[in-house]
Amino acid sequence: MNLRPAPPLQVSDWINTPQPLDIGDFRGRILVIEAFQMLCPGCVAHGLPQAQRIAQFFPAEQVAVIGLHTVFEHHEVQGTRAALEAFAHEYRLSFPLGIDRQDGRLPATMSAYQMQGTPTLIVVDRDGMRRYQKFGQADDLAVGSIIGTLLGEPRRASQSGAAAPAGCDSNGCPVPAAS
């Protein structure tokens, strides 16, 4: 996957959080996004349980997990906040869940991320760069390895609170020209 910034989340409503969230709210932490539908067998059997395991295993100050309810079929059955709240209660989903904004045939965030369907697992690094995206069942060991690798990457100076050297940006620090 080409390294590129994670597009903003285009969410119409949230549950399990007191305020709306976006990619920038997670700077300094790894962000795992599980895109799902309530009536998707793969989401219920694999994607959401995996997201729960990630949320339980990794410290919240290092890794954040959110769900993105991205409904592209059966809107009348699963497209309401009340339906999602009941589903989250029954499946004991405690991490924030966003409802992907409907924008024509496909939900807005689903389109922005060019998702192929659900479940889709997305991993965003501490700098807001999309580092992994997988449609279908993602292997636990592979996902754990990706998260572990990202946690092991050195933090940039701008993230640790120190001022970044002149000429540095989120892409790196160029070698200064000879005087």
Low-confidence ranges of the chain (pLDDT < 50): 158-165
Between CA 62 and CA 56 the distance in angstroms is 12
- What pLDDT was estimated at residue 172? 58
pTM, entire model? 0.85
- What pLDDT was estimated at residue 156? 64
| Angle, alpha carbons 55-57-59 (nearest 5°) | 75
- What pLDDT was estimated at residue 159? 46
Between CA 166 and CA 123 the distance in angstroms is 30
- What pLDDT was estimated at residue 66? 98
User: What's the fold here for domain 4-17+26-150?
Assistant: Glutaredoxin (3.40.30)
- What pLDDT was estimated at residue 174? 62
Q: Which is nearest to 127 in space by CA: 100, 164, 80?
A: 164
Please give the structure tokens belonging to residue 173: 């620090």
- What pLDDT was estimated at residue 177? 58
Domain ranges of the chain: 4-17+26-150
